[in-house]
Structure 1
């Protein structure tokens, strides 16, 4: 299968595809280990507790909720109607405004941290970097991270190869780390490994929540998932999959 322009990574169609699947996204996307925010604080040289944080491209609030629980004064920024609606349903106590990283709806020197949880690759750095500089206070931190299945694990590497073959590598689900880091900012990057055990159907639903499948449509998604269910049922006969992840986190103090 060769990706069309509408299905290419970073395309507007892929960015908008999450709105129609916000409940699926919220239910099945993985969270993050506590060590992630420890790493963000270490690299930023300041605590999140009490800091003014804007979580950009907040989606359904997976990262925003963790920042809130850490004690940050956090505001979510989200462009999509469906994602924002799901965010408000799940997190009525956390404020959210509409906008994106290229046009931040925030004042000058308004924040101590800007965080992008799996969202920086949807921005245009020619716009999002000046916006980050404008909104961050002196010595504020820009923190970007991506949560990816660990292809050092053989079965995950084999699945990743099947995804690449199915879509054509350029159209496969959300390739990133550490893609697109602006060279004009001095980022420090760390990798944080973690794991979770989930039902096989939840593992497949997580994949189905990625933009490549959302723009592919129901028939194509079912084709891949049915084949994958058969393979993984033999590998995990008890129906429980151990997913191993690596969070790649990059922080620049500006």
Structure 2
């Protein structure tokens, strides 16, 4: 298995001979407005893609969308993605994705098999209290296949009971948390903080972490350097990878 961080939450995952494109967001730097009522009011995304869209699309066999917020599926991606490819999603997003023109939309209620790969949907919390409710439903996904590491893509969630349960049930060898400590001007963070990542790493035993969702969207305030330093202070650097945009990491079972 290999994982390439394209940018933010956009990943290319090579798994069991197939390539998934996760949470595609293709907008050019500054093409989209800042999220309202958030710190750091600059246009999004904050950086360009590290490679051409044609290279991102090369060789993909399926699309996985954790949820349809604009930083996980933007207008540029909707326009440029091949509409005939299988697209896996959470059930509440099915109708929207069909309306956007995708032809093979497969909601994952519990589990779904595809090409020898079992996809399982997990829960999460996109923040706390009223803000968490307003952010709507979000999901994580676990990929399992013979002779491959079990992969858990946590999605846009804070550390919570649902994440802890997913780790306990699925025992993933690789976890992709979405960090950045994104927040609004009021309330708690809506994605994982450095403290959340440390809790996840400690709960996940010997699992390797590949941390995404950083330094791109205007309200993601946690930097890679700060997260790396925090992991180093806690002796977790060997297990917590904080990749740069475009970086690829190979994982063996």
TM-score of the aligned structures, taking structure 1 as reference length? 0.36
Larger helix proportion of the pair: 1
Bigger relative contact order, structure 1 or 2 (CA pairs below 8 A, ≥6 apart): 1
TM-score of the aligned structures, taking structure 2 as reference length? 0.37
